[in-house]
Structure 1
């Protein structure tokens, strides 16, 4: 975690478990941010002018550099977030997979494509090409300080942009480390830079004349980012969190569903935008599923050890949010199956399993961002889908059923940007799939071909192959040209 108390112009980073001093970083002010963007602008011209194959070569060298020092980066992630070693290693591996995909596929995805010109413009040859924005500002979160921002960083770079990355004030060292790896490869080309700081630094980045901003964080902060970017009509990509649901049908593999719920709900101490916070189970299997899940949850204990299932709350204030949600759920008539408000013992929160929680409680409607699972019964899958969709968020969701047809039908009805059937977060390891949400979970996409196009501007190009036989694209077309054009128009479009 981070404090700004000891020195007003420095980020004082401490271990989230012990509170011991870890490192200090600069708090970049508006002038420092604008300088970084100016340097990035110059580098962007060079980077965009490179052949796509050359950009791929540099990006793969960057990937190899990160991979060769994965243990060093994982240790840094652990030091700043407190998460388990396996959790840190997994997010790095996933980030590298997406970087590799973006580097290898950018040329194919973004190449110029011919498109049909249609009857009216038969004499024109038409194409669409994708060009980089220029400089992209990326504002990253603390819960997955490598995987999440690298989704935007990788695809923005692969699309030909320079990037100025502002990591969370809780995990500045991760951002600095990534920028250093790039600098070691191309020290004279600041295509990837980092500016460390708090919210004021992020606001300065939004106003520093970048060409696009990619933000991950709360919906509230996302709105503030949009407001700042609106001053210059700077386009944005927003990932604003989630309140993801897991649906368990009566025919599901209950053991697999319960284990997935534990992974999605307790992983990274529940500090996951896309995971599992709510579980809706068909009444016929509700009690056996709840008993199975409770047994698994009771076996989990947080800790500071590298092999602990999960670590502490990374930010001190989150423990109070978790405690408040648990207390509210119980006050409204929910029941504690495993743990209760007393399970919150900062910096750790032991797993909490709540059942029969009213749908209007904070534990159901708001992001808890802690190791708390709410499990409620439903009459059938249709009711489960209605409840899953009854939220302002729409990031991702999960469904467990033995019927492929039923699972895909429920997925089609889920208001979410990504859905996994018979797994949790299955899409996260598929680099070709886009990721993003709807509603308070934001808009825009990272990852996959859509992620590459997100950081590119489509440009339409036509060139006249020959003079048109009937020319109406002129200031004063002839009467005969208009008669013939209208006749063709009526013939083509006047019939059903």
Structure 2
């Protein structure tokens, strides 16, 4: 396992304090400026967050109270009225300007994402590019998605009908720590484009990234107050977020998502949830070994495996299992670890002590029950407090925790199979269904296998980036991996209420005075038969 220079507390030089004590990071004054954007929380005990690379403080964050959150929603409702009245083309222009600013100021975003989440810089760039793609997509297509839609009326010519879309109102968004920039953009920007106001609660650990994007959005022309950010523990402000939201969007664990769904159901409002995954990869017998092994490293270890759609199970045909495993292990062992703000490292650190504890516990449990660690399998405190080596296991049995439970770290298990149907059944044998990957030299064969997998997104000859980066495709989970979709038209329309309007002219839809009901029914039946023969609209 190779590594770059450790990002430890002792390596920075004297001078202005940097965010998280990371060498080359912006001054802590930048963090303090972003923190001032947080709404509420002045009367609640603040919390201090720490940089995964160094363990040093990033920022002290104000925490909102229940009353703070409810007051913010009141303010957001006021701001939403005028925002919704603006032409959708105006809202699109703001998103296009945001796209340009994100790319222009990307170095700021890259630094923040690395410092807060512990990512390698290339993984942080994935977030910048995803944010730009989302801004451009909804900057181009929102007017089309929101435009009134015509349909065939009950009686041709005499019944004129249409469907229009209204914003929900104020959308509550609870964002995770693992993709703080990209997932903020994917959820917040379409909600704004649809004419809603947003109250977002990002995770404390990566709040600065969300605050940075909010700042840039206002620089692009977003009115102040339309997008507001509050911070706090779900146990303290979760009820207020659920009870005040006209629509709730949540990304996080399956147990938490189920609890939120139950609370939202009591109010009969809507929600979308992206939850956990135990994502499989199937390697077909004709797969290109070298390309598949390289792709598997990215699929499994991007963002240190702390990605909802990353692969944690690999099923390889027995005819190539040994060769693939040898190539994959060699490439995994060569992954460069490090915590500098540059593109040298291929993998950064885990983000929290909780994640390090989970990863360590899963690997040790597997070891104790007979699993073989082919590479990795240990923490790297010499590099920083939360580094853990990318780890490949085999001989994993069903009694091992990581066999079915999500690890959410740089750990993957390899299994053999002899029949493709068997591999598909084993890949589907999980309560999750978020993402999957198939590898084959034959694109058609890969597509056919993909269509049999029970997952919201499936990538052929890719791990996750092809669907993740194609903003026009819906993204979300089946089974216990979630409800609803982000991206595409659905990612915007879910934040709207559909309204049907019909204008009836001339002929009434009930028998008029002097017309016997039986005669009316006979005439209408004849008309219905004739209408069935007309071309569909």
TM-score in terms of structure 1 length: 0.92
1:242-291 superposed Cα distances (whole Å, 9 cap, x missing partner)? 11111100001111111111101111111111011110011111111001
Q: Distance in 2 between matches of 1:52 and 1:8?
A: 38
Partner of 1:169: 204
Given the alignment of the two structures, is residue 128 of structure 1 paired with residue 163 of structure 2, yes or no?
Answer: yes
Structure 1: state its 5+ residue gaps: 2-6
SS of 2:451's equivalent?
helix
Residue matched to 2:293: 258
2:185 to 143, 146, 150: 150
SS of 2:340's equivalent in the other structure is coil
The equivalent position to 1:338 in structure 2, one of 364, 375, 379, is 375
Matches within 5 A, 1:207-356: 207-306=242-341, 307-340=344-377, 342-343=378-379, 345=381, 346-356=385-395
Q: Conserved in 1, the CA contact under 8 Å of 2:52 and 2:117?
A: yes
Q: Distance in 1 between matches of 2:119 and 2:136?
A: 25
Which residue does 2:474 correspond to in 1?
A: 434
Alignment of 1:65-84 (within 5 A): 65-84=101-120
The corresponding residue for 1:446 is: 486
- Report the secondary structure of 1:251's partner residue: coil
User: Which stretch shows the higher mean deviation, 358-367 or 49-58?
Assistant: 358-367
1:62 matched residue in structure 2: 98
233 and 480 in structure 1: CA distance in 2 versus 1, 3 angstrom threshold: same
Cα distance in 2 for partners of 1:188, 1:348 equals: 41
**What's the CA shift for 1:143?**
0.6
User: Shift in Å at residue 343 of structure 1?
Assistant: 4.3
| 2:462 is aligned with 1:423 | yes
Verify the 8 A CA contact 2:161 2:503 in the aligned structure 1: yes
Per mean C-alpha deviation after superposition, the further-off stretch among 322-331 and 151-160 is 322-331
Residue in 1 aligned with 2:153? 117
TM-score (norm 2): 0.85
| Structure 1 counterpart of 2:61 | 25
| Partner Cα separation in structure 2 for residue 381 and residue 418 of structure 1 | 19
Superposition deviation, residue 490 in structure 1: 7.5
How many residue pairs match? The answer is 486
1:427-464 per-residue CA deviation (whole Å, 9 max, x = no partner) reads 11112111111112101111111111111111111111
Whole-Å separation in 1 of the counterparts to 2:315 and 2:455: 16
Q: Tell me by how many angstroms 1:417 deviates.
A: 0.6
Contact 2:202 2:230 in 1 (8 A): yes
Structure 2 partner of 1:97: 133
1:356–1:377: 8 Å Cα contact kept in structure 2? no
Contact 2:61–2:204 (CA under 8 A) maintained in structure 1: no
- Tell me how large the CA RMSD over aligned residues is: 2.4
Q: Partners in 2 of 1:360 and 1:125 — Cα distance?
A: 62
Matches of 2:417 and 2:165, distance apart in 1: 47
1:120-152 deviations in Å (ceiling 9; x for gaps): x77312222222111111110111101112111
